[in-house]
Amino acid sequence: MIAKLQCVVLDCADVVGLSRFYQSLLGGVVNQQDPRWSLGEGWATLHTDGGFVLAFQRVDNYQPPRWPDSAHPQQFHLDLEVKDLEQAQEDVLKRGAALLDAGDGQRSWRIFADPAGHPFCLVRH
């Protein structure tokens, strides 16, 4: 092993807004004090209850990915496990997500975009 994953960083225009969006999905603490990062206007963190850390970095003139547009690729996405796909979809849409692909009704996942345009999937457990 060469390294240990410290966090996943998402570029966005509104670091606090996006961190609060993911907090509403995953729980945890926004901008918990941590010696690894300096918190500020252009940086926020979410320490989830499971110990995973998402970080959010402000980018001037942020341009979101456009799924499935290869000219503006998604670059990465998060898979979030849920027990009830229908209820989870309703909940994330209320929190500001956008449905990108509802699938065919047979598969166990759906694709959404967070408020900054990053794709993520809800995957039925």
pLDDT (tens digit, 0 to 9) for every residue of the chain, 125 residues total? 666 778 899 999 999 999 999 999 999 999 999 887 778 889 999 999 988 999 999 999 998 888 888 887 777 788 898 999 999 999 999 999 999 999 888 888 899 999 999 999 999 88
What is the Cα–Cα distance from 119 to 21, expressed in whole angstroms? 13
- Please name the amino acid found at residue 45: T
Only one residue has tokens 């570029």, namely 11
CA 37 to chain CA mean position, Å: 19
**How far is the CA of 81 from the CAs of 4, 72, 84, 110, in angstroms?**
23, 26, 9, 11
Tell me what pLDDT residue 2 has.
Answer: 62
pTM of the model: 0.83
